[in-house]
Structure 1
Amino acid sequence: MQLKDAKILVIDDDPDVLIAMRLLLKSHVAEITVEKKPSNLPSIITNKKFDVVILDMNFNGLVNTGNEGIFWLNRIKELSPHTDVILITAYGDIDLAIRSLKEGASDFIIKPWQNEKVIASISEMVKKRRKPGKNLKSKGETKIIGESEEINRVFSKIEKVAPTDANILILGENGTGKDLVARAIHENSNRKNKPFVKVDVGALTSSLFESELFGYKKGAFTDAREDRKGRFESANGGTLFLDEIGNISLRQQARLLTVLQNRTITPLGSNEVVPVDIRLICATNLKISELSDESKFRKDLIYRINTVDIVVPPLRTRGTDITLLTRFFLDFYSKKYAKGPFKTEKSFLEKLKNHSFPGNVRELQYIVERAVIMAENSVLQDKDLSFSAIELAPEKQDLDDMRLETVEKNTILKVIDKNKGNISKSAKELGITRAALYRRLDKYDL
């Protein structure tokens, strides 16, 4: 999208600011709307879509705390989650700036502004704008939902690698949606009209591994009563997705490597070599550093399956995507269970935002489904949410294991559990920043 196609809304109770913004932007954008009263904002946004909203942080001119701007920022994000918001104020309060960015603002500028910086900021936002799951659709349904910087990086990689035949390794915690990324790659590739075959190889026993992947001939073993194609042959011309690749044995890895090198398979009970043409996508919840341990995983296989890697971010790092996904699941389960439609109080969304989501998107999905099923009225509150105690249950500390990293890991788990998954409160209690706490969560794979 280009700046000349953008629609901008400016909200400020100072007429001079509105005039200045109109004069500045009218020659750069497709449409600019100005509004003096923020109370009119809901009806304006409901009736027309805007790419960027420029919002004053203080109204009424009585108490300039910025709270008014934060309130209307949250209202905009509720009504139009995909709209970028730039907050402006005459008071250069860095704490307020950081707070607004955490609440979902895209940028923060101080009056008097520099025209070039305002244009540059809007241009950058418009350039990066995309709808959640842009071009990542299947049978009319959006498969990946999000607008955060973290998920946009995933979208960008998918768009680059999908048209190629490069082997892809998808990394990420359980529940982040690695299978959706795999399917999105297939459905945006040149093989989209060919089969997409998924195999959970981590669940296959040694005896099933070869028969499932490579197929067999009648009589190859006791229960082989007829010829059967393996998953490689079934995916011929299309995409083969091997999930939980990090859990297969070294012997299975060797067999897989041979097939990938030769691009041929030999069904069990046959001497016939069958050529296969597949695009390979693999996924694992292990980190590359863990896969690099040659006692567990062959490095030559890593190189073979990992032409490009895509890391799917955990939900706790995706900011406003939590709200987007919540609304998506609310709509889905409202229709499924013929209930609602539901509205949400701020307390409902705040409780979700403060949860650490160790189970990621899958956990959020089940939480929302449970809330819909158990809801007694159409307005959901924080009391309608319940989190799994299993997800946050801290491990019992081995009193004989007093290594510093073990003590630190268990302390983090205990504090997060105490604060019911609230990362901000936990970081404060631990005496570290949120970023430092996230680094430790990643370090200990929590």
Structure 2
Amino acid sequence: MLLKKASVLVVDDDADVLTAVRLLLRPQVKEIVTEKNPEQIPALLKQQAFDVILLDMNFRSALNTGNEGFFWLNKIKELKSDAAVIMITAYGDIDLAIRSVKEGAFDFVVKPWHNEKLLATLTDAISRKSGGAKATITGSSKAMGLELLGESEAMQDILLKIRKVAPTDANILILGENGTGKELVAKAIHQQSLRADKPFVKVDVGALTESLFESELFGHKKGAFTDAREDRAGRFEMANGGTIFLDEIGNISLQQQSKLLSVLQNRQVIRVGANEPTDIDVRLLCATNVPIADLANEVRFRKDLIYRINTVEITIPPLRKRGSDIILLARHYAEVYAHKYMKPVPELSKVALDKLLHYHYPGNVRELQYAIERAVIMADSDVLDAPDIIFSPIEAAPVEEVLVQESNLEELEKITINRVLQKHSGNLSRAAKELGITRTALYRRLGKYGI
């Protein structure tokens, strides 16, 4: 076994983490060295060669780098170490950890981790290192549901994030425009979790009235109100042991938010008309199309509830930002609907592909799906041409409104810079390249707009 022959260095300023890793790995590896001070890394690497380095993303040191993990990752590369570097990160730094993989780390683990997952990651690192294979950011779309397809950088980041957070019990907030696939991401997280064989319960909380909210989520006793003819478990009890997915969480009232927060804090529900609480054990996933900046407005949404539901945030990009994924999805839906309607699987002509690539998709993946379904039904040949693809006029009005709202050029520039920075996880060099300006020019604009 390769792990038995490995030497591992663990660098973390948390003594409890070092103790836990030492106890776990001592029987599993040839040698384990632990170090609290990252500034000892150069000396340790001069003394001996390590197969794997477990490196924390953040240290409480005097080094002012913004994020010490990147500094020491680059330092290890400068020292020409052959060790595979695995970053140790907290939930809040997952986006940074994904960026570290792009910049040379082999992988990352989220703390608190499951021991089996950590050992599997170490084994994979040592195996690939000895075999000379290079690690890449990939996600298994097939394991996560066929419609969760994507080869774009943004989708690969999401697939990697799902793979990392799914085995934990972290609460996840999924953000994205209507039609981007938020429910698919929620299902993928459940399918990849340790609760996969337990219930997955979806509730569209934005559609619940004040009178139905408590009864639907928390249940009721017989006679609690006029139509309560029998005891009924709520959705939280139905999801016990599994996952509950609260869709459109951004649309519930402040009063509903208060009731939900109480349940999440106490891990108990009280049925309407009852006095005794019932303990619950659920994994919470939430989704909204409301931007996080709007949710942070306490007139609309309680900040304490945001922190409760948002241990990890996953933002799904709109389809218009996903490039060639549009063609990948179009071909997928063409095959799906050809089988459904018992027709030959059609090809897409070049002009049809161009039309698909240059459309703005205000309805996102859902709009593309319906356009391809209609084209497959109506087409008279085995080739879909541009006239066969008709987009819904329902989506036209909102786009025009957005263009009017963004007519102010400075505001549009600020919005564009923010979007590109978010896309590249704050990497200024990549953002400047996509914007077509120098890093210096980007710095000036960041100062100008207070970004």
TM-score bucket (shorter structure): 0.5 to 0.7
State the match for 1:225 in structure 2: 229
State the match for 1:299 in structure 2: 303
Offset from partner CA, 1:231-280 (integer Å, 9 cap, x none): 00000000000000000000000000000000000001111110000000
Offset from partner CA, 1:268-313 (integer Å, 9 cap, x none): 1111110000000000001110000000000000000000000011
- Contact 2:334–2:346 (8 Å) recurs in 1: yes
- Contact 2:180–2:364 (8 Å) recurs in 1: yes
State the match for 1:271 in structure 2: 275
Which residue among 331, 353, 356 is the counterpart of 1:327? 331
- Contact 1:132–1:146 (8 Å) recurs in 2: no
Distance 2:243 2:388 in 1: 41
State the match for 2:153 in structure 1: 149
State the match for 2:194 in structure 1: 190
Which residue among 235, 252, 255 is the counterpart of 2:259? 255
Which residue among 349, 356, 360 is the counterpart of 1:356? 360
State the match for 2:102 in structure 1: none
Which residue among 384, 405, 408 is the counterpart of 2:388? 384
- Contact 1:212–1:231 (8 Å) recurs in 2: yes
State the match for 1:128 in structure 2: 136
Distance 1:405 1:315, change over 3 A: closer
Compute the displacement of 1:379 (Å): 1.0
Offset from partner CA, 1:379-408 (integer Å, 9 cap, x none): 1111111112221236788xxxxxx95644
Distance 2:348 2:215 in 1: 50
Aligned partner of 1:261: which letter?
A: Q
Distance 1:186 1:351 in 2: 36
SS of 2:224's partner is coil
Compute the displacement of 1:322 (Å): 0.7
Aligned partner of 1:284: which letter?
A: T
Structure 1 alignment gaps of length 5 or more: 1-122, 398-403, 413-432, 437-446
State the match for 1:236 in structure 2: 240
Distance 1:288 1:344, change over 3 A: same
Distance 2:361 2:132 in 1: 31
- Contact 1:146–1:321 (8 Å) recurs in 2: yes
Structure 2 alignment gaps of length 5 or more: 1-130, 413-432, 437-451
Distance 1:435 1:177, change over 3 A: farther
- Contact 1:143–1:184 (8 Å) recurs in 2: no
Equivalent runs, 1:21-100 vs 2, <5 Å: none
Equivalent runs, 1:391-430 vs 2, <5 Å: 391-393=395-397, 407-408=407-408
Distance 1:148 1:271, change over 3 A: same
Distance 1:395 1:154, change over 3 A: closer
Offset from partner CA, 1:124-158 (integer Å, 9 cap, x none): 99632646515324xxxx24111110100100110
Aligned partner of 1:128: which letter?
A: T
- Contact 1:194–1:238 (8 Å) recurs in 2: yes
Aligned partner of 1:392: which letter?
A: A
- Contact 1:132–1:144 (8 Å) recurs in 2: no
- Contact 2:138–2:159 (8 Å) recurs in 1: no
Distance 1:258 1:197 in 2: 20
Distance 1:146 1:406, change over 3 A: closer
Aligned partner of 1:176: which letter?
A: T
Distance 1:335 1:209, change over 3 A: same
State the match for 1:178 in structure 2: 182
| Identity fraction in percent | 58
SS of 1:251's partner is helix
Distance 1:360 1:193, change over 3 A: same
Distance 1:158 1:279 in 2: 14
Q: Does 1:281 align with 2:285?
A: yes
Q: Does 1:347 align with 2:351?
A: yes
Aligned partner of 1:161: which letter?
A: V
Distance 1:176 1:255 in 2: 29
Compute the displacement of 1:320 (Å): 1.1
Which residue among 336, 345, 359 is the counterpart of 2:340? 336
State the match for 1:58 in structure 2: none
- Contact 2:371–2:390 (8 Å) recurs in 1: yes
Distance 1:329 1:295 in 2: 42
- Contact 1:243–1:282 (8 Å) recurs in 2: yes
Aligned residues: 283
Distance 1:173 1:296 in 2: 19
Which residue among 310, 314, 318 is the counterpart of 2:318? 314
- RMSD of equivalent CA atoms: 2.5
Distance 1:300 1:214, change over 3 A: same
Distance 1:230 1:215 in 2: 4
SS of 2:387's partner is helix
TM-score, reference length from structure 1: 0.60
Distance 1:219 1:385 in 2: 54
- Contact 2:139–2:156 (8 Å) recurs in 1: no
Compute the displacement of 1:208 (Å): 0.4
State the match for 1:429 in structure 2: none
State the match for 2:378 in structure 1: 374
Distance 1:126 1:353 in 2: 32
Distance 1:394 1:193 in 2: 41
TM-score, reference length from structure 2: 0.60
SS of 1:128's partner is coil
Distance 1:335 1:406 in 2: 42
Distance 1:158 1:395 in 2: 31
- Contact 2:138–2:160 (8 Å) recurs in 1: no
Q: Does 1:208 align with 2:212?
A: yes
